[in-house]
A and B are shown apart, each in its own frame.
Chain A
Amino acid sequence: MEHGFRPDYMKILKLDEEECRRRLDFFEITEEDAQRLVSLRSFAEQWTQEITEGLYELIMRHPDSRIFFPDDATLARVKRMQNAYFLKLFSGSYGMDYVRDRLLVGAAHERIGMPPKLYLGAYRRYLALIHEKLRDHFKSDKAESVKALASIRKLIFFDMAIAIDTYIAAYLETMTRHQAAIRELSTPVIKVYDRVLLLPIVGTVDTQRAHQIMETVLVQVVDQQAKVMILDIAGVPVVDTKVADHILQTTAAVQLLGAQTILTGISASVARTVVQLGVEIKRVHTRSKLSEGIELALSIVGKKITAVAPRKDEV
């Protein structure tokens, strides 16, 4: 049994009774389809093995899809599951239990990392195989064969929609988690000395990040009762009017709290842009190097870095 992180896709996709009913309605799956499929149960039991073999013939012939089934035991297991999947198409009951089952199938494909192109491509072969068997089964009664195929196709598309929704939900989940991680990493406030904090800003500053920077900076200044906040912008690739504005807002807010901001890491090109853009940086200490900023910060809290005889360390 695997104990990995498994989101509840029923909940994420809001697949409640009402939604399941709406989906069935949209795919035009009617009571008539259900009855027709139930009547084909013996057909399904007769041919499921052969159809499954035909499906895996395609999958195992292509290296892209073969790698998902590394050994015979796995292959035997997924073939058994495929038969169970097939028979369930002919169960005649397509309520919540059915949807839950189909969702697990979709989630399993997503979890092993099978790309949608292979998943959908294999379905194409699957439908072709079913079609072939239906033609043989109904022989002369062509009209009935067409109706049977139509009913099966409705359900298969219904299943595929659930699987694709699961794929998308899974990707969104991953993205959300990554974004949260990036947000946390993007504002590491460092205590340089008692009452002196440093925030190195690395990467692009957009509005959302700027708000987050301001919030973190202000909370940290108050929490640690910092007198000086050093903002090092050496790692910000482009400082345009917007970025400059965000930074100045933060420094103004820090000042309202009763602390000071030192802006460091201002390169020649940043200085040029800022002046050319006409951004006025007033009431903020600025330095080009972080080390100079730290010296200034220490002097504000009444400390000083002085030269001493180099210490000989014996380990």
Chain B
Amino acid sequence: MASGPIPILKLGSILLATIQVDLHDTVVDAFQHDVLEEIEKTGSSGLIVDISALESVDSYVARMLANTAKMAKLMGSETVIVGMRPAVAATLVRMGYLMSGITTALSLQEGLEFLSNNQNGAVSD
């Protein structure tokens, strides 16, 4: 069970986290913890983090999200960050934060398609 304020839903072999609260440091720390616990518990092969509700992302949050994705990958779970807003992307790039190695997609739909292609068409098992 997630202990932070961000719900993590299980969709077949994929975990879906929709961030709808402001991501300050403690929330993002709790989120990272919850996600990794959940992956360990469910053995999911994909993780989608929907940030379309976020109007701003600071460098700490960006780094935490990127690190979470890398950790998830180590545990065998491919991560896609979806729905980034134009202003957020512009800010990150201007800060020189390119989130290299992180997969992004325009929408939840796209993210799901990406993961299902990665798993030879299996969204659910």
Q: Whole-angstrom distance between the alpha carbons of A214 and B91 in the complex? A: 11
Q: Whole-angstrom distance between the alpha carbons of A288 and B84 in the complex? A: 30
Known: A256-B84, A256-B99, A258-B82. A225 touches B90 (CB 8 A): no
Q: By DSSP majority rule, is chain A's interface helix, strand, loop, or mixed? A: helix
- Interface status of A222 (Cβ within 8 A of chain B): yes
Q: Whole-angstrom distance between the alpha carbons of A252 and B88 in the complex? A: 12
- Interface status of B17 (Cβ within 8 A of chain A): no
- Interface status of A102 (Cβ within 8 A of chain B): no
Q: Whole-angstrom distance between the alpha carbons of A252 and B85 in the complex? A: 14
- Interface status of B106 (Cβ within 8 A of chain A): yes
Instruction: List A94-124 residues whose CB lies under 8 Å from chain B.
Output: none
Q: Whole-angstrom distance between the alpha carbons of A253 and B92 in the complex? A: 8
Q: Whole-angstrom distance between the alpha carbons of A54 and B93 in the complex? A: 68
Instruction: List B65-96 residues whose CB lies under 8 Å from chain A.
Output: 80-82, 84-90, 92-94
Best-surrounded residue of B82, B89, B104, B107 (most CB of chain A within 10 A):
B89
Best-surrounded residue of A214, A221, A226, A256 (most CB of chain B within 10 A):
A256
B-side residues, CB < 8 A to A, are 80-82, 84-90, 92-94, 98-99, 103-107, 110-111
Instruction: List A12-71 residues whose CB lies under 8 Å from chain B.
Output: none
11 other contacts beyond A252-B98, A253-B90, A255-B98, with CB at 8 A cut-off?
Answer: A218-B89, A219-B86, A225-B106, A252-B93, A256-B84, A256-B88, A256-B104, A257-B86, A258-B80, A258-B107, A258-B111
Q: Contact at B86–A222, with CB atoms within 8 Å?
A: yes
Q: Whole-angstrom distance between the alpha carbons of A215 and B81 in the complex? A: 20
Q: Whole-angstrom distance between the alpha carbons of A146 and B27 in the complex? A: 81
9 interchain residue pairs of minimum CB distance: A218-B86, A258-B105, A258-B104, A253-B89, A256-B89, A253-B93, A258-B106, A219-B86, A249-B93
A-side residues, CB < 8 A to B, are 214-215, 218-219, 221-222, 225-227, 249-250, 252-259
Q: Contact at A249–B94, with CB atoms within 8 Å?
A: yes
Q: Contact at A257–B104, with CB atoms within 8 Å?
A: yes
Q: Which residues of B contact A259 (CB under 8 A)?
A: 106
Best-surrounded residue of B85, B93, B105 (most CB of chain A within 10 A):
B93
Summed over the interface, the residue pairs from A and B with CB atoms below 8 Å come to a total of: 56
Q: Contact at B90–A222, with CB atoms within 8 Å?
A: no
Known: A221-B106, A225-B107, A249-B94. A258 touches B84 (CB 8 A): yes
Q: Which residues of A contact B82 (CB under 8 A)?
A: 258
Q: How far is the CB of A245 from chain B (nearest CB, A)?
A: 11
Q: How far is the CB of A211 from chain B (nearest CB, A)?
A: 8
Output the nearest chain B residue to A217 by Cβ-Cβ distance: B86
Q: Contact at B86–A215, with CB atoms within 8 Å?
A: yes
Q: How far is the CB of B47 from chain A (nearest CB, A)?
A: 15
Q: Which residues of A contact B88 (CB under 8 A)?
A: 256
Q: Whole-angstrom distance between the alpha carbons of A232 and B39 in the complex? A: 43
Partner of B93 from the list A221, A226, A256 (CB cut-off 8 Å) is A256
Q: How far is the CB of B3 from chain A (nearest CB, A)?
A: 29
Q: Whole-angstrom distance between the alpha carbons of A218 and B93 in the complex? A: 12
Q: Whole-angstrom distance between the alpha carbons of A172 and B77 in the complex? A: 58
Q: How far is the CB of A207 from chain B (nearest CB, A)?
A: 11
Q: Contact at A256–B106, with CB atoms within 8 Å?
A: no
Q: Contact at A256–B92, with CB atoms within 8 Å?
A: yes
Best-surrounded residue of A215, A250, A252, A259 (most CB of chain B within 10 A):
A252
Output the nearest chain A residue to B52 by Cβ-Cβ distance: A222
Output the nearest chain B residue to A251 by Cβ-Cβ distance: B93
Q: Contact at A214–B90, with CB atoms within 8 Å?
A: yes
Q: Which residues of A contact B89 (CB under 8 A)?
A: 218, 253-254, 256-257
